[in-house]
Every structure is written in C-alpha cells, then in structure tokens.
Structure 1
Amino acid sequence: MTINPVFTDATPVAQVPDAHRFLDDVLAGFSAPQKFMPAKYFYDAAGSDLFEAITRQPEYYPTRTELGILDAQGAEIAAALPARANLVEFGSGSTAKVRRLLARRPDLAAYVPVDVSESFLRSEAEVLAADFPGLVIAPVAADFTRAFTLPADLPGQAFAGFFPGSTIGNFEPAQAAHLLAQFGGVLGHDATLIVGVDLVKDKGVLEDAYNDAAGVTAAFNLNLLARIGRELGGDLDPAAFAHRAFFNPSASRIEMHLVSRQAQQVNVAGRDFAFAKGETIHTENSYKYTIDRFRALAAEAGWSAGAVWTDDDGLFSVHALRRA
C-alpha cells in the first residue's frame, strides 16, 4: 500500500469540526424562527452508512445515473484531468465513482479524499489502496465547506478536483458559488474541477427519490436527532418526529424537514426548545439546475465551462470546469 509519507497506515490527517462547533450550530439552528440544521451533520459514521444505503434504493436515480455517465463516457471525463495530477475529492464518501476515473488515468500522481467522517474515510482509503497499489493516497479528514489545507508534499505536477453526487445542490446558490470559489483557492490556478449536477425534471421523479418506500431516507434524516443525543446529550426522541421531503418549484429545490408529531419541549446542553405540533427542522436542500444555469453559477465563482456529459434521459449532468 502506497501512502504519502506524512501519513501512517492510511490514517487521515484530521481537520474535522469539534463538538463545540456542532453544539454551537445546533443551538443556533434551534433558536432560529425556522429551525434548521446544516446538512453536513448528517454524515457521522451511521449517517454515512445510511446514505450509502439510500444510493441503492430503486427510487434514488442520481447515483446510478451518474455512475452510468462515468461508465459510458468516463474515458472523455478522465481525459479532462491534467497529466500527473493530484486528484482531490471533496466529500469523498464511497470510492465507487472515483474508481471510474482512477482506472482510466493510471498516470495520476495522488488521490486526496476529503471527508468529515474519519472512520469511513480510513476504511475506504485502505480498500482503495489495495486495489491501486501504485497510487499515493493521502486522506484528509476535514469539513470541506471550511478552510482546510492539503498535504504539503504531494507528488503531482498539477491539481484537479472531483465533486460528484450533486452535493453542490445542497447549498444555496450564493453559497454554492462561494464553495466553488473556495475549491479554486484550494486547487490553485489552472486547476480542473469535475462536478456532478442534478438536473430539473418531473416533480414526481424528484419527490420519489427522497421518499423511498423502504424508509431509508427517513432513517437518514432522523439519525440527525439521534446524533444530537449521542454526541451532545440532547433528549430529542426521533420517534416524536417524522420525515418530510417535497419539491419547491419556485426555488427549484427538494426540501427535507423533520416534522414534530406533537407539541413538545426538548433540551440540548441545558437549553430548552419548544416545538409546536407540525413545526419543522429544515435539514437539507437539494437544488436542481439546468445546464446553462449551473454554468453561469460556475462562472460567477471564477470557473470557465468546459465539456458537459449527460445520460440519455437528461436526468443528470457531469461538468468539466477550468480555473483560469
């Protein structure tokens, strides 16, 4: 197994947010007129496993559609990466998608997976290293939405980024532009970025994808409350809340909420919060774009649009962007 020398046994360098930041965000979110939680807190170890289960549900088209694009047009997508590049994957999670690129570009110098779940990151990095023994793998446990640093001694001659899964859709458009600009700062001048972007489509298809019949997305949403209990000592009862996901056409986004089933009071770190029956915690947005609208957003963030690849049904898109 080849690992960048600053790491030992694929142990990631940790730059993850601490419990104090988690608590601050919970208290701020529960104090707002519309209660909310940042979606990044879905992804503890249990949440990461649940999300991987979501991607296997028949209603959830984004993952299988993006994988189909990477399979069918992966050679072209991989060719957009610079030679001898350090490939940085923001919010890496499962390695299923990046494997499509690594297999087609054996000349890549290093792979840098960045993810907030340190345990999941370590296990995925170890499996990947066994399958790509000539590749330097330098995992970084960090919140990619905040400033973080890359290892200083990466061997590549250029930098490229990979941001699949339409995770960009979880951010308000202004925040998404800021995030893309931040990626540019991490990767530097002349970098390439490959981004997965979910497209606008039929409302029924969208809502079914976030309300799977097996209830896995509901469990994923409710795990956020369980995490607050595990890590912060909150007394929220997940059974007292229900999952709700719907398409908001005026904002072109799916919204996910946790709905209080009854009037109740909860306590987190000594702070009491009242919930009326039917009151919600807004936990996630997933914006859906047209190709032109996303390219305009990328241009605002300092990226120039390159090639774009889609599936035959126009459900999903993969974009190549270049940092001037």
Structure 2
Amino acid sequence: MADAASTQARTGTAVIGDSEFDRDTAVTRRDPAVPGVYDIDLSAGWTIINAVNGGYLLAVLGRALADTLPHADPFTISAHYLTASAPGPAVIRTDVVRTGRTLSTGQASLFQFAEDGTEVERIRVLASYGDLDALPDDVRTSAKPPAIPPIEQCFGAADAPADGPRIPGSSAITDRLDVKLDPATLGWALGAPSGKGEMRAWFGLADGRDADPFSLLLTVDALPPTAFEMGLKGWVPTVELTVHVRSRPAPGPLRVSITTRNLAGGFLEEDAEIWDSQDRLVAQSRQLARARLS
C-alpha cells in the first residue's frame, strides 16, 4: 500500500514543513514549558549500512537548538561523532551558551541506551544561530559554481543496470534522495576510479521538498564518499563535521561539490560546497573521516 512519503516522491508535492524529512527530524520537548530536553525516534530511513547518516543527525540536533535558542537559523555548527547512532529512540539535551542581538550560541548532545541500559553519548555539537534574512546582500567572492553537466546528462541510482555495481551499504537513504552524479566522478561505480578525491552532483530530496537551512545540514554529508574515487571501499565514518550556512537557498535543485586533497594515516578531509539555483554559495563544510585502507 502506498504511503504519503511514496506518493510525495512520485508527485513532487512535498513542501518545507510538511515532508518526510521534516517529520523524521522533528523533536519533541519532554517538558512542553521548558526547552532543554527533547525526545526523537531516529528513523531507519536515513541509514547507511546499519548506522544513521551523520548529516541527518546534524539536522535533528539543529532543530533542537533552533527550539532552544532565540535565533532560528544555523550559521555554523560543529559536530563530533563519538559513537555510531542506530535507528530508534534518542534523547537530546541542549544548553544555551550565550545569547546576543545578532547571534546566539548553544551546545547539544544526543544520547541512546546501550544493551545493558547505560546511556551512551552519540554526538556532541556546538553551534551559533542567527537570522539569515537579516544578512546584507553584499557578496564579494572568488568562488565559482562547480562545472557539472546538465542534470539530464548525470546519473542516479535508478540509472544503474540491475546487475551493475551498487553503492556499498543499505539503500534506505538513497531512496529518499534525488542525486544525479557527474559522470566524471563515477569511475568508482564502473570499477575504474579516477584516483582523484572528487564527487559532484545535482541534489534534491526525492519527494520534491525544496532546500532550507536544516536540509543543507543533511546535504553536505549525503553524497557517496570521495574515497570511492580514490579507489577505497567500505564505510567512511565521520569523526568531525563543521557546516557553515551562508544563505537561505532558492527553490530548485542544488549543486554539490566535494573534494579531498589529503589522505594520510587512515584519515581524510572532505570539503563541500553547496550552490543553489541562483548560483549562490549557500553552504560550505569540512569533515574529517576515517578511511579503511585495506
């Protein structure tokens, strides 16, 4: 039987505030009158292999901080991933560090329970929030949008042959994304990785929901790892991820470019840029990830 999410995916009718992403990142105050402690059931729909995607987790914590702080929009958020999160119940605890006229800063941690009943911290973040709509219009930049072929010349999971190679891990998160990869960064899928740490794609949510500052927190961590194009295989878990949200994105597909310049000691960095349909750089990120070299 078709559910609301699958109907939205077919019709592209989802809107900001009423989509699978919004429902799956919504947090509930434990005490409706007092911010600080929130409950959520982490969805299995945003998993890679058996672990919950780090960008999805960042969006969840981002929503809790937006409820806690007097400002609504994440400007910068840095997360340390301490242990892998699993689908199921979780608790988020937030603290206000400082509030000001244009920026407020808070911290948050997400906890789950181990099999023996002990509480385990999964992820800890520190973030500053403000009002994106209050920022000046002046832009002085040398950055340029990534050169990606037209979307109809790029390839997604649905374009792969039934007996062809697949992205390692579960397809749960893949089913919720509309990712069209630049053919120049698809060598890994054909058994001939380029050796370059690059990944570029057109990006959207499968149900047609447009991007907002919280979905940008997901977007920076939603493409296949650059390690695939470097000839590596397997899970590339995030150790630390920092995201800068620069502007509220315009409606339409996003362009994402991720690069790695240095893999050493079993760790690599990934630098991401996200551009909207009006050629604006709306978000940037850097993460440190662990790579399996064998």
**TM-score bracket, shorter-length normalisation:** under 0.3
Larger helix share, 1 or 2: 1
TM-score normalized by structure 2? 0.24
Q: Which has the higher contact order (CA 8 A, sep 6+)?
A: 1
